[in-house]
Amino acid sequence: MNGPPADRETLEVDVLIVGGGPAGMSAALRLAQLQKEKGGEQLSIAVLEKSREPGAHMLSGAVLDPSALKDLIPDFKEKGAPLASEVHHDHIYFLTKNSKFPFPITPPPLRNHGNYIISVNRFVKWMAGLVEAEGIDLFSGFPASELLYDGARVVGVRTRDQGIDKHGAKKSTFEPGVDIRANVTILCDGVRGNLTKALVRRLALDEGRLPQIYALGIKELWEVPKDRIAAGTVIHTMGYPLRMEEFGGCFLYAMPDGLVSVGLVSGLDYRDPMFDPHIAFQHAKQHPLMESMLRGGQMVRYGAKALPEGGWHTIPRVYADGVLIAGDAGGFLNSMRLKGLHLAMRTGMLAAETAFDATRANDTSSAQLRKYEDRINNSDVRRELYSVRNVHQSFSYGLLPGLMYSGLSLVTGGWWVRDPMPVKAGYEHMAKLADYYGDNRPDVDVAVRPAKIDRKLTFDKLTNVHFSGTRHAEDQPSHLIVHDTDICRTRCREEYGNPCTRFCPANVYEMVDAGDGTKKLQINASNCVHCKTCDIMDPYQVIDWVPPEGGGGPQYEGM
Amino acid sequence: MKIAVCIKQVVTREWQLRVNDSKTWIRDQDASFELNEPDAYALEEALRLKEKHSGEVVVCSAGPARASSVLREALARGADRAIHVEADALASADAFAVADALAAALRDEKFDLVLTGLQSDDQGFGQVGVVLAEKLGMPHATIIMEVKAEEGGLRVKRELEGGWFQWMTLPLPALLTIQSGINQLRYATLKGIMAAKKKEIRKVTPSAAASPAQKMLAIHFPEKGKKTQMLPGSPAEAAKALVQKLREDARVIQ
């Protein structure tokens, strides 16, 4: 797909940041600060972001622990940080189908006083303004398609070629990708980032680590009558619509003017191959607790994104020659507190400090960049993550063992008899239909636990995708590469019943009639909301998510 | 050839519109914006003309502060400089007021050619171009599908109804409103974005803005036509009533 090197332009920078999310923006701002504090020759810094405009692919609950923000931008209030509301009320419930049981106390990790409910889309857009004001080059609409190496050393990235048609031929507007060469590349490419995934595999950075465990977050933004829920209210639930064997829960965060974020996070380590997270979310909204909050309101946005929930033991080695990994890409998320923004920001800042020193010392070798790991170990990042290092792993043994361990870990500091607690990759938990359903094999083209869709409270996937603002140029190769579509119609259909048609929250995967009485896979790539679930959860691991043409993807305004 | 391209920032097509409280415009506080599509083609056509005949491409937008992002985008694609007629009221102003603001900003520069998109994706009157031509005292041609520069003027292809086209010639200076699809849009490049940072965006405050000639009374979503009516009575009576309705109300049978 890539043209000869002769027609490729090259851009040289000192530090390249790939991914303009909270981690990447924090890294850029921290570099600009260090430059001002320490003087010396001006560093050239560039940020690459795949979305059309900054923040467009940002999706989170979101409740922000402002600890890193306070350090990075002490005058964030004067600078107009868009913090929708301070958290005033914390509620946590265990739900059964029709009832709710409040937890007698709010567990300390879920106490949110001092935190803020935010739109991470607006927050990152605000940060982007600060980054650009520092004169840093922020390139929106430019995905990085591959890392550039010199032996085992990362020397930059190549941006994606633009203007290739769906058959792989160059269009008249073809624009070859640019090689951006950097002394240090900071990968902030988010959960299951395509570059981080390739790097970790190539350099075996996950050796001796546990496999990452992910969850899928599905979220809607609602506008409800203004006096219904006090701004600053945070509600978390466990239990229904998930079963004891499924990890996760719902969230509902109330912002001013009747804006409400509501969502379901479900572990991507479920057993039942017929489980459909999007349908589970519809059931969640029909629960009396949620329904009473949303009734009469209007859904205004939809989105979905995976979360790295594995915690401390799953974080790969986050440095190598010429490269650092920060934020969700590295798995810096506290699944016990359901928070990752502050850790993304903090690791972005620490990566920036390491990159700055390394560039100044003219040594960006692995030995020098290792100081990033030391910085992490001496920071709140380790203090916070180490004590909850086995939390999601414990839930892979079921809800009750998970809850018991989580409670215990508050006393024991996270210790467990077998530490790290052994765990398999999430997709390996999925059972085959025959093992899960025995002789009662369900019709795999029909939902096992369907939800009633009324298009007021509950929606089908296609309607939801419409509300994600997703757009891709139609005439381009599919950015979802299924390496063996034969598996889909043969083995997978028999063994798992094509679970991609269920775990994808955007109706990208469909099994359609092949014309000979069998079904074949159809990939509706232009629906993709870039959540990465298929890349993560496919039981045969034959799906590769690669970035589509620049600017493609959702438009998470206000999310 | 000194070319001006008038561009507008509009709400993205994917945006789920909501009507504001006074029901006179959309709620655009948290909307996402982009360059109006026909204007992108107008810009591309101007860049191609410049590449062929040399000269200068100046982009101009009349809109609130946020509109500067589409001007920056145009500069990144290759426009040489930009003029921003900045006023909040221009966000939903009528064609007359917008054309007036643009004309004031463009008049003194003596452009050879002024291009606009055929119409905007939001209000869609398709009038700014023609009113602007009138105010600048230039001839104009609309719905342009091809532009050829000739000795002393232009030869342009207009799109008519029913698959018909019309070729016509105009002297310069002139104004053309460009139809989407006239060319293939180029991609923004990293070098273009970096170069755009050094280009000028001149801000202009509209002096005595023309008072709007039109007033938006109300906007609303199309009413959904689906209505269910239950016909009472025995099956025979209901069938009779149904046939009558199909014949007289719906007029789908004779």
Model confidence over A465-521: pLDDT tens digits?
A: 999 999 999 999 999 999 998 999 999 999 999 999 999 999 999 999 999 989 999
Q: pLDDT tens across A424-433, in order?
A: 889 999 999 9
Q: pLDDT tens across A236-271, in order?
A: 999 999 998 888 899 999 999 999 999 999 999 999
Can you say whether the dihedral through the CA atoms of A341, A346, A348, A349 is positive or negative? positive
Can you tell me the distance from the alpha carbon of A116 to that of A166, in angstroms, rounded to the nearest whole number? 44
Q: What is the C-alpha R_g of chain B?
A: 23
Q: Chain A: residue nearest B76 by CA?
A: A139
What pLDDT was estimated at residue A303? 98
The count of residues in chain B is 254
Select from A175, A302, A529 the residue whose CB has the most chain B CBs within 10 Å, as the one to mutate to test that interface.
A175
Can you tell me the distance from the alpha carbon of A363 to that of A360, in angstroms, rounded to the nearest whole number? 8
What are the tokens at A31?
Answer: 């570099």
Select from A52, A139, A261 the residue whose CB has the most chain B CBs within 10 Å, as the one to mutate to test that interface.
A139
Provide the shortest C-alpha distance from residue A467 to chain B (in Å): 7
* DSSP designation for A219: E
Which residues in chain A have their CB less than 8 angstroms from residue B187's CB? Answer: 162-163, 173, 175, 550
Vertex B5 angle, CA B1 and B9, to 5°? 165
Which residues in chain A have their CB less than 8 angstroms from residue B186's CB? Answer: 173, 175
Which residues in chain A have their CB less than 8 angstroms from residue B15's CB? Answer: 469, 555, 557
Q: Are A145 and A547 in contact (CB under 8 A)?
A: yes
Chain A residues with a Cβ under 8 Å from any Cβ in chain B: 9, 11, 52-53, 56, 122, 137, 139, 141-142, 159, 162-163, 171-173, 175, 178, 180, 298, 300-301, 466-467, 469-471, 550, 555, 557-558
Cβ of B161 under 8 Å from any chain A Cβ? no
Domains annotated for chain B, with CATH where assigned, are 2-204 (3.40.50.620)
Can you tell me the distance from the alpha carbon of B207 to that of A139, in angstroms, rounded to the nearest whole number? 36
**CB within 8 Å: A9 and B191:** yes
Which residues in chain B have their CB less than 8 angstroms from residue A178's CB? Answer: 189-191
Can you tell me the distance from the alpha carbon of B98 to that of B63, in angstroms, rounded to the nearest whole number? 8
Which residues in chain B have their CB less than 8 angstroms from residue A163's CB? Answer: 187
Phi, psi of A263 (to 5 degrees): -165, 170
The count of residues in chain A is 559
Of A139, A470, A558, the CB nearest to B30: A558
What are the tokens at A224?
Answer: 């409800």
Average pLDDT per 10 consecutive residues for chain B, totaling 254 residues: 97 82 83 93 98 96 95 96 94 90 95 97 93 97 96 94 93 97 94 94 82 84 80 92 89 81
Q: Where are the alpha helices (DSSP H) in chain B?
A: 37-53, 68-77, 95-106, 128-136, 190-196, 235-248
What pLDDT was estimated at residue A338? 86
Provide the shortest C-alpha distance from residue A462 to chain B (in Å): 14
**Beta-strand relationship, A10-18 and A162-164:** unpaired
Those residues whose C-beta lies under 8 Å from the C-beta of residue A3, and which sit 6 or more positions away, are A161, A170, A174, A176
Select from B9, B11, B32, B121 the residue whose CB has the most chain A CBs within 10 Å, as the one to mutate to test that interface.
B32
- Which residues 174-193 of chain B have a CB within 8 Å of chain A? 184-191, 193
Q: pLDDT tens across B213-236, in order?
A: 788 899 888 887 777 888 989 999
What are the tokens at A182?
Answer: 């950097």
Q: Name the percent of chain B lying above pLDDT 90.
A: 70
Which residues in chain A have their CB less than 8 angstroms from residue B16's CB? Answer: 300-301, 466-467, 469
**CB within 8 Å: A558 and B18:** no
Of A551, A459, A557, the residue nearest A507 (C-alpha): A459
What pLDDT was estimated at residue A345? 98
Cβ of B241 under 8 Å from any chain A Cβ? no
Can you tell me the distance from the alpha carbon of B152 to that of B98, in angstroms, rounded to the nearest whole number? 30
Q: Chain B: residue nearest A175 by CA?
A: B187
Domains annotated for chain A, with CATH where assigned, are 5-56+124-209+316-386 (3.50.50.60), 437-545 (3.30.70.20)
Provide the shortest C-alpha distance from residue A192 to chain B (in Å): 25
Can you tell me the distance from the alpha carbon of A316 to that of A330, in angstroms, rounded to the nearest whole number? 7
What pLDDT was estimated at residue A111? 83
Q: Which residues of B58-80 are buried (b: 16+ CB within 10 A; e: fewer)?
A: bbbbbbbeebbebbbbbbbbbbb
What pLDDT was estimated at residue A398? 63
What pLDDT was estimated at residue A386? 87
Q: Are A314 and A330 in contact (CB under 8 A)?
A: no
Q: Chain B: residue nearest A137 by CA?
A: B194
Which residues in chain A have their CB less than 8 angstroms from residue B14's CB? Answer: 469-471, 555
Q: Are B80 and B111 in contact (CB under 8 A)?
A: no
DSSP-assigned beta bridge partners for residue B11: B33
Q: Give A146: exposed, middle or buried? Use CB within 10 Å, 0-12, 13-18, 19+.
A: middle
What pLDDT was estimated at residue B196? 94
**CB within 8 Å: A9 and B190:** yes
Select from B26, B185, B189 the residue whose CB has the most chain A CBs within 10 Å, as the one to mutate to test that interface.
B189
What pLDDT was estimated at residue A2? 46
Which residues in chain B have their CB less than 8 angstroms from residue A558's CB? Answer: 30
Provide the shortest C-alpha distance from residue B197 to chain A (in Å): 9
Of B15, B69, B186, the CB nearest to A173: B186
Output the DSSP codes for A411-458.
HHTT--SSSSPP---GGGGPPPHHHHHTT----TTS-SS-----SSS-
- Positions in chain A short of pLDDT 70: 1-6, 391-422
